[in-house]
Structures are given as C-alpha cells and as structure tokens.
Chains A and B, each alone.
Chain A
Amino acid sequence: MKPRRKQGWARLRALLRPPRTLKVTRIGRTYLVVTFGVGLGALNTGNNLLYLLLGLLLSMVVVSGVLSERCLRDLSVRRVGADAAWAAEPFAFRWALRKKHGHGFALALSEADSPLTGVGGVGYLPAGVDHVVRADLMAPKRGPVLLTGVRITTTWPLGLFAKSRVFPLEGTLLVYPRRGYACQDPGEAERGPVGDAGNPRRNDGTGDVAGLRDLMEGEDARRIHWRKSAAMGKLLRVEREREERRTWVLAVEAGLEGDALERRCEEVAALAHRLIEEGHEVGLDTADGRLRPAAGTAQERRVLRALAWLGHEGPRSDADEEAA
C-alpha cells in the first residue's frame, strides 16, 4: 500500500473513531460470564441472594465505567518526542500529560493508528502536574511515521475493561534505517577537491610543517610564513602535512525498491556511522539529491535523515518532524 493511501486510511480511522473505545480484558470476560451465570441462576431459582450478588456485580460494572470515565476526563497531552528512532529497535519516546481536575490512575499511553508499538504508563497522576511519561517504542520500518493522535487507556478501577480515549495530535516521527554492522568495504575514498578535507595530494593540512614554497596567487594569506618571507624577500607559504582524513561519498543507487532499498539504506547508514566514527568525511548521493561530504555527528544525522526519507514523499524540513 502506498504511503499516501496509508495516511489517508489513518486519517479516516481517526475521523470515524468514537470518542471512547471500550475493550473487555481477559479477567473482564470471565467476570461477565460469571455475572451472566449468576443472572441465569437468579432468574431460574428465584434465590434472592443470587439477585443480591447479581446487583453487586452489575453495580461494579457501572461504577467501573464511571470511575474510568472520570479518570480520562480533563486530560491534556503533548508529545515531547524522541532523541532518535531507529527501525526495529526500542527507542525512548516521551509524552507530557496533565490533568486539570481530579486524579488519574493506571494510564497507559501509546500512539494511535501508527505502526509504533510500545506503551508508557503512569500509575497515579495528580491534578495540575505536568507528568512526563516515558515509553520504549519500536518502529518496524525506516521512514516517516505519521502520528495522528495519542491514545490513553485505563483499566482503572478493577481491570475488567480497558477504556481508551484518543487525543488528536498530528505529527511525524522520522525513523532512521535499522542499525547494523557494515560488512562491506566503503570503496575508494574520493579523490580531487571534494569536501572540507581538500585534495589529499596537497599538503594543506594542519599537521607538522612539510616545507615552504612561493605563495601562489589567490592563496590564503594566513598560510604565509612571515619570518622566512622577510628573510627571503618574497612571500613564502608554509606547507603542513595533511591529517589522515579522507572523504567518501556513499551512494544509494536509483531504481532500488522494497527490501533491496531497505538493505542498501541500512548498509549505507552503517558505513556512514563507521566512517564518521573514524573521523572521515562522508557524503551521500541518492536519486533524490546529493549531500555534501562532511564530518561529525551532525553530518551523520543528516545522512540518516536523508536515508530515512528515501523512497518516501513528504515534507523534508526539520520542523515537520516530531523527533530526530
């Protein structure tokens, strides 16, 4: 199913969703069966004590509904988000929860109508307090995940029914490719004037002094060795040894789809991580565009974000993403 159609379905489900959903728990099912049995026994035998017990059981169901409703009222929730989300591994996700009036008990938070699995819980939520709930969520696949709302569920007070309320809250969570180990060799480093490291054949690094030569036109004046230049009577520039930093431009070939694309993204992500960890510069070349080589964790994030969006359509700016 295409991503756009999926998003349409998610919106449709959100539109058709009732304000509260009720699900009977396992113990609740047995409770209802026993209640039904007691009711049958009362009607069949006319035993007043069974009527009394039936009344108590039914009253408990009503009280359960009222207390759980009070629990879900006057709630407000917002996403705090995640630092980073990788596919197929748990990542920390947070919501900020607040109750205007009364108390909340046994609240479980999850993302509604999304492929994210995992639940965060809070046992007791007093009124007027911003409570941050943390959950270990997991996304099955790489890419942007449309978040339509936050589902808050409670089984309070007796655990017989799970009552849920969905708070509409749109957003997008960008899930990076699954982390793994890159078995492949990244290939030859780039040659020529690419990246911040420059040409490896030139001694224009910041290491030890390799020698002196005449300053060419257009070269950086900050490289001039003033004392030697004064001694020689002409402008000399210092040549310093270049550090062991090389540049790779990793590529995701155009035309890949499905599992092949996923595997390639994971490999590229792992390679990028390894190379950047080693201090090299990494760039990315994909069908959607080219990412200029650079080093550092910020560049790794840029590579991961580009890989996450690969094959998906939608906004690419940071502001559109809920996290990461």
Chain B
Amino acid sequence: MRPGTRLRLVLRDLGSGSAFASMAVSGQLPTWTLALYGVALVCALAGRRLFATRAKLTALLLLAVAGVLGMNVLAGSVNLVVAACAFAGLIAAHRLLSAPDPATDGQVQLSGLLMVAGGAALSGEIIYGLFLVAFGVLSSLSLALGVVEAAVPEGEPVPVRQVMRPLAVGVGFAVAGAVAFFILFPRLNWNMMGPRVSPGLGAATTGFSNTVRLGGAGTIKGNPRIVLRASLSPDPGNALLDAYWVGRTYDIFDGQEWTSVSGVRSASQRVVTLRPGGESLVHQRVELLPAYGGRTLVALETPSKLGNAVANTPMGSRRVALQELGGGEVRFQEPSLGYTYEAYSLPPGGSGHEFRDLPSDEQDALLTLPEGLDVRVGQTAARVLNGEREPLAAARKLADWLQQGHAYTLELSGDVADPLADFLFERKAGHCEHFATALTLMLRTQGIRARLATGFFGGERVDGSYIVRAGDAHAWTHVLVPGRGFVTVDATPPAHRASQSSQVLQQLLSFYEALEARWRSAIVDYSFRDQMDVARSLVRPPRKRGDPDAPPSRMPPLRAWGAALLAGLGAYAAWRLLSRFLERERPHEATRFVDAVEAQLASARIDRREDESLEELDARLTREHHPLSPALVPVTRRYLEARFGGRPLRQGEAEQLLGTLKRAIAAEARRTAAESREPRARAS
C-alpha cells in the first residue's frame, strides 16, 4: 500500500461512520444494526477487510438482513424509513469490509450520502448537524486523495500535505455555501413542521406509572436530562423556581405500593378542565421532551385546564387528544416522542376542592389505611401531634418531625416486608416517596384526609423559560384542608427535593441543551417566515441604543449598506464579464473572407507558408504559373481593397467571389484527375 492510501481509507471509513452516526443518534435504528455496523467499522479501521475474498458470497448476508428487516416492517415493529436507513447502513458495513478498490470507494461514499439523507429524515438533533459536517469534511478529503492517488504514477507517494490545504479552503467554502443556501433558498413547501424529535442520549425516563412502589434505589434523582421546558405567564423571573409540577395523585396504599381508586373519568377531548379557574391563573406553555418518555401531562400545581396538545413525531407534528383518568391524571391518547401543550394553574394555596364534591370512592380512600399497618405509626403520629387537629398545622408538625428525625438517602437495598415501618423505626432514612408516604399515612391514622402526589419539583431558568430535569422527579403529600381543598405539604428535607446530579454534569448538559435549543430554533424550525424576517432585518432601520422607546432612525442600518455594497459588487462583476464578452475583438469581415479563401485553397492543396500573406501567395502562384492563379488574382485584389482600401465587401460579394474560386478549384481538380487516369510509362 503506497503512502497516503492508508490515510485515505481511514478517512473514508470515518466518513462512513459519521454518516451512520447521523442516523444512529435518532435512537430509532434497531440495536442489532448498530452492533453489526460498529463491528464492521472497527474491523475496517483496523485494516481487516474480512469480506475481501468473498464479496459475492457475503452479499447473500445482505439479502438475509433485508429479509429480516422486511419481516419487521410487515410485522409493524419497524418503520419503513427506519428499515431503509438500517439497510443502507448494513450495505455500507459490507462495503467497508470488502476489498478497497475505486468501485468500492464510490459505493462507500454514496451509501454515506444516503445515510446522511436518512439521518435528516430520522433525527432533528444538533448532533446530526455535527455528524453531517464531519461526513462532508472526511468524505471530501478521502475523495480528493483518491482522485490524486489515481493520477499519481504507480510507486510514487501521494502528495497528501499539498492536497489538504486547497481542499480545506474548498470545503470551508462549501459549508459556508450550504449555510447561505439554507438561509436564502425560498421554502417552497408550506408544510410548517413543528419540532422534530428523537429520544437523543440514552433511554427516555418516565417518572409516572399506575403505581408507586416503595423501596429500591432512587436512581432517577441523579439523572440530569431535561424532560420538560416551560414558559410561564406571568413570568416569575426567578433563576430557580420553587414550585411543584404535578402529574398525578394516589390515594390507596396497600403497605407496599400506591394506586388510584378511579379509572377513566372522561372521553377523549381537546381540552380538559379539572377545576374551575380564576382570574389569577398561571399560563404555561409546556414542551415535554423525548427524555420524558411518558404520556402524563404535567402542570404547575394546581392545574385547572390543559389542552391544545401537539404530538411531535419524527415525521412531523399533529394535534393529539387528551383523556382524564383517576388521580387527576391527564394523558395524551397517542404515544409520541415529545409533546407541546398549554396549561392553566391556580396559584399555590389549595386546590379549592370541597370534601363533599369529591366522588364517594375518593372520599373513602382518603382515610384508608393498609391492613396490618404497624401500630407504632398511629401511636407516633398521635404523640407528635399532641392533640393538634387542624389538618394543615398537623401536617406541618409531622413533616417537621420527619425532617428532624429522619435522614434522606438514595441508598436503599431491595424490598422489605413493611417499608413504612422500616423507614420510620428501623432505618430512619429514605427518599421522597418514603417521607411522603409516612406523612400521608400518619395523617390518616389521626383522621386527617391526605393523599400522595407525584411530579417534579423546581425549575431552572434558561433563555427565558424554565427547564425541569429527570432528577427533579418528586413525591409529596396533599392534605385536605376544609375551605381550601388539597394543600401541598412536603415532608422531604428541602435540600433533597430537587435534582441531585453532579453540578458539572448539569452544566455540561445545560450547555448542550442550550445549543440544542439554538439549533432547533435556527435550523430545524427555520421557516419561510424566518426568511422574510432575515430579509426585513437587512433593511429595518436601527433603534437608538439605550432607548427602546425612541423612534427608529431614518437611515438604513449598516448591514443594509453592506448588502447593497455586495449587490453592487456583484452587478459590477457581471457587467465587467458581459462587457468583456461584448467588446471582445471581432474578426474583420475581410478577415473572415480571407479565412474562407484560405480554406478553399487548402482543399486544393495550396497551403500558405508561415508568415505568407495572401498577396504574397498570389504573387508566388503567378510566378509559378499555377492554374488557379487567374482565379485568385481578383479575389486577392478585392480582399486588399476591403481590408485596407476602405471599400468594404458588398452584400453577397464575398459569396460570389468564393463561388468563382470554388468553381476554378473544382475545374482544376477534374483536370488533374483526368491526367492521372491517362497511362504513363515508368522508368525502371
């Protein structure tokens, strides 16, 4: 292998890997295709072309894979587009392991092209953009090295260093050109698609299920992935939001897990009203990101109305219906990777529920205790309350007692027979579900109605909206207070309510999320309206700095001058090119005439010598008594008059003169042919 070839192959393989990764980041490719391609790429980078000697035989493997994918598509387990993308990846893998020749190189590059196109269809992540650029750069370098290598004689090294510099400049211009094209090319399609989503990094984290089971490790608290983004109106403006985002509530505890008593409460509808609203409702525009992974709507406590939901799928956005379930849960009716919706919530202070308005089964459930509840729970609650009967005060008293005497921990091992007694009296440590369960049941033992609520706590302000992480998942207690309804009391120590992931990890993820948000707004959601805004911004007069209320300047902005200058330079360059074309020296009419004469003379085997003018040729032929000389003399004289004597050729005169010359040449040719047919003696 000559120097440079190895580098070219590595660049080619890495380019193919980038193209495959642009699809893989969507998280939709089957795992086995990821594994197969990964193995093939590693082998190829290590220089092991396993299929080099069995290209046709191993191509049968592709047929088998195509069959498997086809069956998956027919069974409905794999989308057709996803299957096509996966198959393109496997073709690329096969080509990577084949013998590297020009045909294989071309197939690898083209399969890479198909894969980045497939990635565009599957993924809207910013990582796709990075892999797209990586593919463009790596494949261009590989192609260019291949082109040069093919031209370099065998045995000589490929001039790698010399190739890189001009090509890097070229690729830089190509990327800039792609951006310019993207910004300026009119969007001819009016299908305004919403955010296109994919699960992204790792598996989605749902915080909700039909039951809440005590015990086990609370790993979700350390997960920094962002599951929810919301903009609030009125905007509280705080950097950290001290609020509860409720998803659903539970009212039956069987000693191990929480459940809800009622099932489906309403048919599917576009807007769900949970309770009457007021004048001071907090409006939320919520986006559930693919990392959320659930179908339960989340809203600030206490939600009043939820609706206008849109499901964001890889193939576009569509409206989706909602359904109310027991426990105050509202669910999307269709599964999707992400959702956007609107919610209105009452300000904190109570849900406004009257006990008698609750369904009878819920009324009963609010005081239900599990069978076999440790008697120490009730005794302890009574001792702590010491006669306190007011629900909210009692709840706060118990919460204080729990926070003082019990530690917060996520390190819990396995299930125990009575997790509540274990938390309260043995281990005296647990996570939010333990604290919330203990408070709820201790209140119930004293005849105070309460239930468990789950959702998220907190919110971090990023770019004017609030983000909530998977680690913000939380559980707390709703205490039914007469006249106010359900009021939130949180027994979990305040320091442990929000996400507990590493600060560095959170910052890194926040940075990524910020980039992702920019990518989404600037690239994925870029629309014809944005194009118009870009065009308008070029000519919109600037406002005076420091005074937003001041009237805009009458002068166009600097960028408008810049755009005008660029347009002017472009017009000038076009004019220069055009004028150069129009003003180019055109041959004189007499010159065209003499060219035609020369062509006719050439056909009669009379060639002008180097630097011999037509006049000199005419003189020479006259001296030699050439048979064509009489016909050439008037032609030459007329040419000289037309070219230098100020007597241009009349209309049709050139054709007439040329016709005369042509006839003379033809006559001379006939005479010569007749002479050649006559027999002649040959000297021996």
| 9 smallest beta-carbon distances between A and B, as pairs | A59-B177, A123-B152, A55-B181, A46-B189, A49-B120, A55-B178, A56-B178, A124-B159, A106-B151
Could you say which of B106, B114, B196 has the most chain A C-beta atoms within 10 Å of its C-beta?
B106
User: Which B residues lie at the A interface, using CB under 8 A?
Assistant: 106, 109-110, 113-114, 116-117, 119-121, 123-124, 128-129, 132, 136, 140, 143-144, 146-153, 156, 158-159, 162-163, 166-167, 170-171, 173-182, 185, 187-193, 196, 316, 523-526, 603, 605
A27-B109, A63-B170 are contacts. A56–B175 as well, Cβ < 8 Å? yes
A77 CB → nearest B CB, Å: 16
Cβ–Cβ < 8 Å partners of A221 in chain B: none
With A and B bound together, what is the CA distance between A1 and B249 in angstroms? 97
B120 touches A157 (CB 8 A): no
A50-B120, A67-B167, A157-B147 known, 12 other contacts, Cβ within 8 Å: A8-B603, A45-B121, A46-B191, A49-B123, A51-B182, A51-B185, A52-B178, A52-B523, A54-B185, A58-B181, A123-B158, A157-B166
With A and B bound together, what is the CA distance between A191 and B185 in angstroms? 89
B143 touches A159 (CB 8 A): yes
* Other-chain residue from B109, B114, B181 in contact with A59 (beta carbon distance below 8 A): B181
A55 touches B120 (CB 8 A): no
With A and B bound together, what is the CA distance between A47 and B188 in angstroms? 11
With A and B bound together, what is the CA distance between A93 and B148 in angstroms? 21
A56 touches B148 (CB 8 A): no
Which partner residue on chain B sits nearest A54 by CB separation? B181
Cβ–Cβ < 8 Å partners of B140 in chain A: 60, 157-158
| Residues 126-173 of A contacting B (Cβ, < 8 Å) | 126, 155-159
| Majority SS at the chain A contact face | helix
A59 touches B178 (CB 8 A): yes
B166 touches A67 (CB 8 A): yes
Which partner residue on chain B sits nearest A71 by CB separation? B166
A47 touches B120 (CB 8 A): yes
Interface size on A, residues (CB 8 A): 51
User: Which A residues lie at the B interface, using CB under 8 A?
Assistant: 4, 8, 26-27, 30-31, 34, 37-38, 41-60, 62-64, 66-67, 70, 103, 105-108, 121-124, 126, 155-159, 313
B147 touches A158 (CB 8 A): yes
With A and B bound together, what is the CA distance between A155 and B119 in angstroms? 29
With A and B bound together, what is the CA distance between A67 and B172 in angstroms? 13
B144 touches A157 (CB 8 A): yes
A49-B128, A53-B117 are contacts. A121–B143 as well, Cβ < 8 Å? no
With A and B bound together, what is the CA distance between A27 and B142 in angstroms? 14
B161 CB → nearest A CB, Å: 10
Which partner residue on chain A sits nearest B523 by CB separation? A48
B132 touches A124 (CB 8 A): no
* Other-chain residue from A8, A67, A122, A159 in contact with B170 (beta carbon distance below 8 A): A67
B253 CB → nearest A CB, Å: 49
B182 touches A55 (CB 8 A): yes
With A and B bound together, what is the CA distance between A107 and B150 in angstroms? 10
B525 touches A108 (CB 8 A): no
B200 CB → nearest A CB, Å: 15
With A and B bound together, what is the CA distance between A37 and B147 in angstroms? 25
Cβ–Cβ < 8 Å partners of B174 in chain A: 56, 59-60, 62-63
* Other-chain residue from A37, A49, A66, A159 in contact with B524 (beta carbon distance below 8 A): A49
* Other-chain residue from A44, A59, A67, A107 in contact with B151 (beta carbon distance below 8 A): A107
11 inter-chain pairs at a CB distance below 8 angstroms, sorted by A residue, are A31-B113, A41-B121, A48-B523, A49-B119, A51-B181, A57-B113, A59-B178, A123-B152, A123-B153, A123-B158, A124-B148
A55 touches B148 (CB 8 A): no
With A and B bound together, what is the CA distance between A246 and B648 in angstroms? 69
A52 touches B182 (CB 8 A): yes
Cβ–Cβ < 8 Å partners of B117 in chain A: 34, 37-38, 41, 50, 53
* Other-chain residue from A26, A30, A56, A123 in contact with B156 (beta carbon distance below 8 A): A123
A52 touches B173 (CB 8 A): no
Which partner residue on chain B sits nearest A56 by CB separation? B178
B148 touches A106 (CB 8 A): yes
A234 CB → nearest B CB, Å: 41
With A and B bound together, what is the CA distance between A158 and B174 in angstroms? 12
With A and B bound together, what is the CA distance between A4 and B180 in angstroms? 54
A105 touches B192 (CB 8 A): no
With A and B bound together, what is the CA distance between A90 and B388 in angstroms? 111
Cβ–Cβ < 8 Å partners of B176 in chain A: 59
Which partner residue on chain A sits nearest B176 by CB separation? A59
